[in-house]
Amino acid sequence: MAKKPAKGRCVHCLKKGVERNWDHVFPKSWYPDTTAADFEKWQIPSCIACNDRYGKLERDLIGRLGLALDASNSASAGLADKALRAINPDAAKSEGDAAARDARQKRSCARCRSASKECCAS
């Protein structure tokens, strides 16, 4: 694993002299299960605030897209399962995590219901 980048400029907000960490250009969670272990996953130096902010957007996006993927297609192997696990309170590691997953599930179902009356029957 690469060591933490030195203070410097964030590639997202362009602030200078900030503490940075590594931001994956293509988030690790977006790689299908069929991705080779030695496949290079590009990283860029990002300030912690930007990395956190983009991380939340990326988690939301994969949650939305992952539910629309064909779970039987090897190109998306595991991504649908990850998306379903992310909204499953039973997969949580703590009460706070369970509450966050439950809230995500409710938001997903609300978006789905607005598109289709048959989704998330409850």
Could you tell me the end-to-end alpha-carbon distance of the chain, in angstroms, rounded to an integer? 45
Whole-model pTM: value is 0.70
**Distance between CA atoms of 50 and 94, rounded to whole angstroms?**
26
Contact criterion met (CB below 8 Å) for 105 and 87? yes
The CB density around residue 20, as the number of other CB atoms within 10 Å, is: 22
Return the percentage of the chain with pLDDT > 90, whole number: 44
pLDDT over 80 (residue 113): no
Please give the Cα distance from 80 to 117 (Å, whole number).
22
What integer best gives the mean pLDDT of the chain? 87
Amino acid at 114: S
Instruction: Report the amino acid identity of residue 71.
Output: A
Report which DSSP code applies to 2: P
Residue 30 and residue 58 in contact, taking contact as beta carbons nearer than 8 Å: yes
What was the pLDDT predicted at 114?
Answer: 61
User: pLDDT by residue (tens digit) across 25-56?
Assistant: 988 888 888 889 999 999 999 999 999 999 99
> What gap in Å lies between CA 52 and CA 79, rounded to an integer?
21
Percent of the chain with pLDDT over 70: 90
In angstroms, the CA 41 to CA 25 distance is 8
Report, as an integer, the average pLDDT of 1-17: 91
Q: d(Cα 55, Cα 57) in Å, to the nearest integer? A: 5
SS3 label, residue 104: helix
